[in-house]
Chains A and B, each alone.
Chain A
Amino acid sequence: MEQLVAAILTMVAGVLVCAAYFWGTNLILDRIFPSKGKFGAVASRNLRIANSIRPWLFLAPALLALTLYLVYPVAQSVWLSLHDRGGQNFVGISNYQWMVNDGEFRQSIFNNFLWLLVVPALSTFFGLIIAALTDRIWWGNIAKTLIFMPMAISFVGAAVIWKFIYDYRAAGTEQIGLLNAIVVAFGGEPQAWITLPFWNNFFLMAILVWIQTGFAMVILSAALRGIPEETIEAAVIDGANGWQIFFKIMVPQIWGTIAVVWTTITILVLKVFDIVLAMTNGQWQSQVLANLMFDWMFRGGGDFGRGASIAVVIMVLVIPIMIWNIRNAAKEAGGR
């Protein structure tokens, strides 16, 4: 309890310091370059100088934090990936050479690609279907809220929820895991699902699909509502049926949004860590890059070189999406 009080005090202090910084620097700027009460050329010169400095005062804390916590680490990670485990000696590309020949790394890359293929596709697909269906019924909003709910649950919490569903008891005893109970009810053999190599990946992916479908649904539902009524009315008059309207009129108009949902989930998938750590910790051939990276970061006292090189691989996979995002944002800003 004490630490919580301390935390709140620190928080209040932090906010006050921030406020004092913004207010104080602004005041000082106005003192050094006063524009009120001066005349003519002096006033306009001072105003111009003050206005060119002020944005940087507003931006300074954010730029400092962004540089320290994101920009510098990216450069440093690349640098570290070319060095040995302690980060002292330059080793060239040998970390990357090790990586290419390492069975566990290859396994992780393979699994990551599986995740990339399955999770964004299924989440977007389910999200689109649910968005389209719930828009037509009176209790659609309740349904949406319930399907959206897993978004609020942590990956670890979701892992516990699903581990319970995948729970395995020896054949013949009563199953308390839902999946095995269903399998047994249909006359099948119970399985320890998360220990089945290769297939266990899909059981882990189900968790992320379960969480991310709500996100896809919310965004796509808004996009579907933004479709101009006239296009649909015209299709109805031309005699199109429900399927045709959906797939030939509505979906093509929201391709942009579908791409956004797809790429956002793709980024998340590349970073997936908690689920794998909590469910299998990479055992039974379910390793992924982010968990492998975490592993090397602390394995045997920590191998920063190899850990950083795995992080760089994740970064490289993200870069195409990053460029695409920046282009879109620039296009949008230019069009405004």
Chain B
Amino acid sequence: MNPSTRSPLMCAVHLSVLLLVLLWTMPTAGLLISSLRDKDQLAVSGWWTALATSSRNAVARAPSPESQVERDGKFVISGNVLEGQGGQISAFGFSSREPAKFKPGETAELNDGERLTVQADGSFEIVSDQRMEGSRGQRIFFTASTPPRFTLDNYAEVLSAAGIGRSFLNSLTVAVPSTVIPILIAAFAAYALAWMPFPGRALLLAVVVGLLVVPLQMSLIPLLQLYNGVGAFFGVPAKTYMGIWLAHTGFGLPLAIYLLRNYMAGLPREIMESARVDGASDFEIFVKIVLPLSFPALASFAIFQFLWTWNDLLVALVFLGAGDDELVLTGRLVNLLGSRGGNWEILTASAFITIIVPLIVFFALQRYLVRGLLAGSVKGG
């Protein structure tokens, strides 16, 4: 082993990186773990306690005396304080001052000669020698410990009820064509900018670099007006998938052209010259040589554009609308944050469904993403 890896300084490096990694992964881990927990446990205990047996204090009310039955000359009310939720009773009581006075199996003497027994599994009996009076049932305080429970119920619920399934399809419908359509358009333009001499090429390139940073906000209102105008003129709806595909295409083009041009400009000149000597036209050179060689850059852009269109909220809200049928996943999630703000079992499961696709893409194709990032940021002086 290299001696430098054992020095205290290296230990500090290992430790601090570990700390940073924990800090950066913990939020997502919390979301994933929470989405798999039982919703009653999720609501009362932190996700970091998910593996521990949780105990909770609760109150149940026994059925009213009307439900008593006579058995062997005694009057009995019976039931279960856990009501099928599972868990173990560790203590119980009958007044709020001493909610944990008795152990399960013990018998508590209530004030009026009634006797209460609660078993560890939650079943209880109230026994009395006389017929019990009153209309309200006895309150039973208990401490229940519940073993950790993990379930996919939350996912089943959001997929069926919360509209997430529908939105998932909408997101796919938006993202896939929005990723594919710009590539071809950008590739031809990038080739022209990289290898075809024409007047104004440098200026055009500067314009593309400038457009890279134009804020989306500038485009929203004019395009909304334009779409409304076109929709009214042709009598078609203003908010269509076609509209959003073209919008994403327009917004993604500067980066696509910039990335691809830089990559193509770096291809060796000799390949193209020798092809030209052999009588190939620009079109043939592009289709048969440049396009296949540019695959890594095309992949980089495709990943970018897919992540961006899948994760986008603003463009979808403006050009696709906020109706229940049109919402993409991000929009649905914002709605759920408003309407189901406290239901963390819904929110965590929905959020995980929205981020799972980008995460898969990220982990599978990280190499291309990094390469694209490195090529895509305008290099400094």
Chain B contacts for A261, CB-based, 8 A: 377
Instruction: Report the tally of A-B residue pairs with Cβ distances under 8 A.
Output: 354
Q: Is the CB of A161 within 8 A of B31?
A: yes
Report which of A134, A148, A222, A304 forms a contact with B221, defined as CB distance below 8 A.
A304
CB neighbours (8 Å) of B44 from chain A are 174, 176
Contacting residues, chain A, for B192 (C-beta < 8 A)? 54-56, 58-59
* B interface residues, Cβ below 8 angstroms from A: 9-10, 13-14, 16-18, 20-21, 24-28, 30-31, 34, 42-48, 169-170, 172-173, 176-177, 180-181, 184-186, 188-189, 191-193, 196-198, 201-202, 204-225, 241-242, 245-247, 249-251, 253-254, 257, 265, 281-283, 286, 307, 310-314, 317-318, 329-330, 333-334, 337, 344, 347-348, 350-351, 354-355, 358-359, 361-363, 366, 369-370, 373-374, 377-381
The interface residues of chain A lying within 8 Å CB-to-CB of B193 are: 59
A153 contacts B24, CB within 8 Å?
A: no
Please tell me if the beta carbons of A219 and B377 are within 8 angstroms of each other in the complex.
Answer: yes
A153 to B318, CA, bound (A): 21
Main SS at interface, chain B: helix
A58 and B17 contact, Cβ closer than 8 Å, known pairs A150-B28, A218-B370, A328-B379: no
Partner of B310, one of A154, A210, A219, A242: A154
Pick the 6 closest A-B CB pairs, nearest first: A69-B250, A256-B380, A154-B311, A62-B189, A152-B362, A76-B222
Q: CA–CA, A165 to B314, complex, Å?
A: 24
A58 with B196: CB separation less than 8 A? yes
Contact B46 A181 (CB under 8 A): yes
Give per-residue flags for A152-185: 1 if the beta carbon is below 8 A from chain B beta carbons, else 0.
1111110111111101000000111110010000
Taking A164-B31, A314-B218 as given, write out 7 further A-B residue pairs in contact, using a Cβ cutoff of 8 Å, ordered by the A residue number: A4-B173, A7-B176, A14-B245, A73-B221, A160-B350, A218-B374, A325-B209
CA distance A332 to B202 in the complex (A): 12
Contact check, B205 vs A333: say whether CB atoms are below 8 A apart.
Answer: yes
Which residues of the other chain, A, contact B307 by a CB distance below 8 angstroms? 151-152
Interface size class of A (residues with CB under 8 A): 35 or more
* Shortest beta-carbon distance from B181 to chain A in Å: 5
How far apart are B62's CB and chain A's nearest CB, in angstroms?
26
Of A38-46, A228-236, A265-273, the one with at least 4 CB within 8 A of chain B? A265-273
B362–A149 contact, CB under 8 A?
yes
Max chain A Cβ within 10 angstroms of own Cβ: one of B47, B188, B329: B188
**Given A154-B313, A176-B45, A274:B176 Cβ within 8 A:** no
- A75-88 vs B, CB cutoff 8 Å, 1 = contact: the mask equals 01100100000010
Shortest distance in angstroms between B231's beta carbon and chain A's nearest beta carbon?
15
Query: Given A73-B218, A143-B21, A146-B24, do A153 and B358 touch, yes or no (CB 8 Å)?
Result: yes
Which chain A residue has the least Cβ–Cβ distance from B347? A160
In contact, B221 and A70 (Cβ under 8 angstroms): no
In this complex, which of B16, B28, B172 has the most chain A Cβ atoms within 10 angstroms of its Cβ?
B28
Are the CB atoms of A325 and B378 closer together than 8 Å? Answer: yes
CB-defined contacts of B241 to chain A, threshold 8 Å:
3, 7, 10
Closest CB of chain A to B226's CB: distance in Å?
8
In the assembled complex, which residues on chain B have CB atoms less than 8 Å from the CB atom of A321? Answer: 213
Which residues of chain B have C-beta atoms less than 8 A from A80's C-beta?
A: 221-222
Residues of B within 8 A of A146 (CB): 21, 24-25
A74 at the interface (CB under 8 A from B): yes
Question: What are 10 A-B contacts defined by CB distance under 8 Å?
Answer: A3-B173, A3-B241, A18-B181, A54-B282, A65-B246, A73-B218, A149-B359, A152-B359, A153-B311, A260-B379
What per-residue 1/0 map shows which CB atoms of A122-146 lie under 8 Å from chain B?
A: 0000100110011011001001011
Q: How far is the CA of A71 from the CA of B219 in the complex (A)?
A: 9
Select one of A68, A134, A176, A242 contacting B9, CB under 8 A: A242
